[in-house]
Structure 1
Amino acid sequence: MLNVVWFGDLLKVLWWSGDGMCLLMKRLEKGRFAWPRADSGVVALTTAQLALLLEGFDWREPVDAARPRSAL
């Protein structure tokens, strides 16, 4: 089980590891966490979306990286 609490630039994650509760807290130095809308009160994230959220990326609006012009 995983519970996430979000406060703009602060994210707290509680999860049951099987033998006790674990707490992860992360605060971004710059920017805010991109949190999806919770129309039904619950948000379901994939593992990849959660990883991007924890890294501070806005996974809802990905930005194309610059592509190299030449391999030489």
Structure 2
Amino acid sequence: MKRDPHAGDLYIFRGRRGDLAKVLWHDGVGLSLYAKRLDRGKFIWPSAKEGAVSISAAQMAYMLEGIDWRNPQLTWRPKSAG
């Protein structure tokens, strides 16, 4: 990918079925691996033309929550819990 893994970038990889994402991050001391699997649905993944895609922190946050980051919509929230 011709990038420096020690520069603080996050590297996100998706599983074959699309419901698993793994994030690699080097914090200056060591490499961390985070994994997230969706109970329902799939991660909306950007199309890669050159093997790597840059997205913003907000787009990544939407993507890891299973929200379509290309067109985020407000959703219904309950008025009270319980």
Q: Distance in 1 between matches of 2:40 and 2:25?
A: 26
- Normalising by structure 1, we get a TM-score of 0.82
Alignment partners' CA distance in 2, 1:64 and 1:20? 37
Count of aligned pairs between the two proteins = 66
Provide the alpha-carbon RMSD of the alignment: 1.5
Provide structure 1 residue ranges, at least 5 long, that are not aligned to the other structure. Answer: 67-72
Matching residue's letter, 1:53:
M
Deviation at 1:62, TM superposition (A): 2.7
Partner in structure 2 of residue 56 of structure 1? 66
Match of 1:34 among 19, 35, 44: 44
For residue 2 of structure 1, what is the aligned residue in structure 2? 10
Structure 2 length-normalised TM: 0.73
CA distance in 2, matches of 1:64, 1:55: 13
C-alpha distance in 1 between matches for 2:67 and 2:41: 10
- For residues 27-61 of structure 1, give each alpha carbon's deviation from its aligned partner in whole angstroms, at most 9, with x where no partner exists: 00000000010012111010100111111101113
Aligned partner of 1:11: which letter?
A
Q: Which runs of 4+ in 1 moved over 6 A?
A: none
Alpha-carbon distance in structure 1 between the residues aligned to 2:71 and 2:62 = 12
